[in-house]
Structure 1
Amino acid sequence: MAASVTVEDAENGYGGRKIQPFSATPESEHCKTEEGNSKSATNLAEILGLKDLTTLKVWRASLAELVGTAVLVFAIDTIVISSYETETKTPNLIMSTLIAIVVTIDLLATSPISGGHINPVVTLAAALIGLISLSRAAIYILAQCAGAILGALALKAVVNSTIEDTFSLGGCTLSVIAPGPHGAINIGLETDQALWLEIICTFVFLYASIWIAFDYRQANELGRILVFSIIGLVLGLLVFISTTVTATKGYAGVGMNPARCLGPAIVRGGHLWNGHWVFWAGPVIACLAFYLYTKIIPRQHFHANGYKHDFVNILRVLVTPNKAANK
């Protein structure tokens, strides 16, 4: 796992004899403070991965995340609409199967370039456990959100207004307004139920599939095709479970991908914003829970080739005062 970060005492960096000043003058104390602050700032910049912000390679990789997420949103939202338009008794089964296939193909296409995240959940989890820097994670998430908007715009361009209104561009919904015996009524799922579904399903997604991809032993042994097929299968199963367990009209099922929910919400608007925060809060909580899980298990069982620092080490540098600055 990521190596521990320690903040060195500025006096230990000379390599030879320590040169002690004749007296503790205000000037010498000021120099020590400046040196300590500089070292602390350098360490913080390093662990945040700020150099990634100016690295062309990272921005090129983010382009794959943008395109991959755009394709994902366009394909999945199309599948959602067409599955419920099809005259079948099990539209959720068809939808889940097709989603599994689309996710697998999209991951295979983007993985060689950017690692195949196409989901802020995966990117955030990777950053928390130290597989990528926070700066790279921020770039990826911005690219994913932009890609989701482009995917929703592409879908809006090819469907008629009736389908757009009926299916809300295949976006993430907790409830919808439907005609009732005494006027319009709000049908769907309660907010607390939807939040728990997001937390549980996203954690299962990270635990059962991404854990395989993060562990290089299993990833190398199984191969990319099988690993991404498992991820697609797990996602499809979780979508099927969420839409089957609730069996509530108006609830579109778990998102597990905040960017996918954001795209249609921005393009279509309206009731897609009702409870939209659930599709962000749930996955973030699940990511934190997954991170805690990785910290609890024995260190020797975690085998991920990652960035130098993890979230705990970042916090350690932020809250630990520099020794030289305090002398």
Structure 2
Amino acid sequence: MGSNNIVFLGDEESQLSGGTNRVWRASMGELLGSAVLVFMVDTIVISTSESDTEMPNLIMSILIAIVLTIILLAVVPVSGGHLNPVISFSAALVGIISMSRAIIYIVAQCLGAVLGALALKAVVSSTIDETFSLGGCTITVIALGPNGPVTLGLETAQALWLEIFCTFVLLFASIWMAYDHRQAKALGLVTVLSIVGLVLGLLVFISTTVTTKRGYAGVGMNPARCLGPAIVRGGHLWDGHWIFWIGPSISCVAFYVYTQIIPPKHFHAEYGYKHDFVGVVKALFGSNV
């Protein structure tokens, strides 16, 4: 993390050792952080969409990048600052945390997302809630056309490929620096997290710009953030919701495969991650696996 005694997203399982109580306390950081993240991001989505600016998606992307960086800076010392099932699952595959810790984090992130969506629903009017789908992740929406209701949005295949590509870029271009403790220590916590926020904001901007499809809210890259409004708001937010889970999951596996085929010195330098997925499987079933 740029400090002398903690390495951002190094071997977190060792850093956050201290028994079950420590794990659950860390998960509370993920829960509250995810709640704040969903409330703030969805608020930004609604406010920028309703503004009169010529490029609301650009303003939205910049604000999301800033907010994400601030929230990460607050949560990283508590739990490692995952705030996203994609990060937790990828970290478990790589071996930075155990799969059991990842599952606890993911459950906490999803619960936090629901709380954040409930908080937003409590403060916005029913008209805004209806018009902007509570700022949730949408593939399509139903709008009134000249001859009745019409469905607007993106095709399923396009949305899925965008989730896969953009999530992989997020892992490759930003989280990669955090996974490699050498780069994280050299760059420092603020720089690393600022780049993470910048990359995510850029990907949101790209996805909403290249498609220019009304009804498509852009890539999610965070299944929990998409789940919260879907549970609270319901309706068409469930249409294609699986894309926001399957796409990022594929990217996590692809990123893990990438870490296994590059030279070990470029990733597992000085020490290996003992919770690496393949290593755990080999340990369970014998070295012949």
TM-score under structure 2 normalisation?
0.91
Structure 1 distance, partners of 2:281, 2:146, is: 56
Question: Which structure 2 residues correspond to residues 35-114 of structure 1 after superposition, within 5 A?
Answer: 55-114=20-79
Q: 1:142 is matched with which residue?
A: 107
Contact 1:144–1:259 (8 Å) recurs in 2: yes
The one-letter code sitting in structure 1 at the alignment partner of 2:277 is: F
Secondary structure of the residue aligned to 1:276 is coil
Deviations 1:211-258 (A, max 9, x none): 001111111111100000000000000000000000000000000000
Contact 2:26–2:78 (8 Å) recurs in 1: yes
1:264 aligns with 2:229: yes
Deviations 1:197-216 (A, max 9, x none): 00000000000000001111
1:309 aligns with 2:275: yes
Q: 2:166 is matched with which residue?
A: 201
Instruction: State the shift of 1:317 in Å.
Output: 3.6
Secondary structure of the residue aligned to 1:185 is strand
Structure 1 distance, partners of 2:272, 2:38, is: 28
Q: 1:154 is matched with which residue?
A: 119
Secondary structure of the residue aligned to 1:118 is coil
Contact 2:92–2:275 (8 Å) recurs in 1: no
Structure 2 distance, partners of 1:217, 1:238, is: 25
Higher Cα radius of gyration:
1
The one-letter code sitting in structure 2 at the alignment partner of 1:69 is: S
Q: 2:133 is matched with which residue?
A: 168
Structure 1 distance, partners of 2:216, 2:100, is: 34
Contact 2:43–2:120 (8 Å) recurs in 1: yes
Question: Which structure 2 residues correspond to residues 275-294 of structure 1 after superposition, within 5 A?
Answer: 275-294=240-259
Instruction: State the shift of 1:318 in Å.
Output: 4.2
Structure 2 distance, partners of 1:79, 1:300, is: 41
Instruction: State the shift of 1:151 in Å.
Output: 0.2
Structure 2 gaps, min length 5 = 1-12
TM-score under structure 1 normalisation?
0.81
Deviations 1:61-82 (A, max 9, x none): 0000000000000000000000
Q: 1:241 is matched with which residue?
A: 206
Q: 2:191 is matched with which residue?
A: 226
Structure 2 distance, partners of 1:175, 1:292, is: 32
Secondary structure of the residue aligned to 2:129 is helix
How many residues are paired up? 273
Instruction: State the shift of 1:181 in Å.
Output: 1.4
- Superposition RMSD on alpha carbons, in Å? 1.8
Structure 2 distance, partners of 1:321, 1:303, is: 20
Question: Which structure 2 residues correspond to residues 119-130 of structure 1 after superposition, within 5 A?
Answer: 119-130=84-95
Deviations 1:232-287 (A, max 9, x none): 00000000000000000000000000000000000000000000000000000000
Structure 2 distance, partners of 1:85, 1:101, is: 20
Instruction: Pick closer, same or farther for the CA change 1:53–1:242 going to 2, 3 Å.
Output: farther
Instruction: State the shift of 1:301 in Å.
Output: 1.1
The one-letter code sitting in structure 1 at the alignment partner of 2:281 is: L
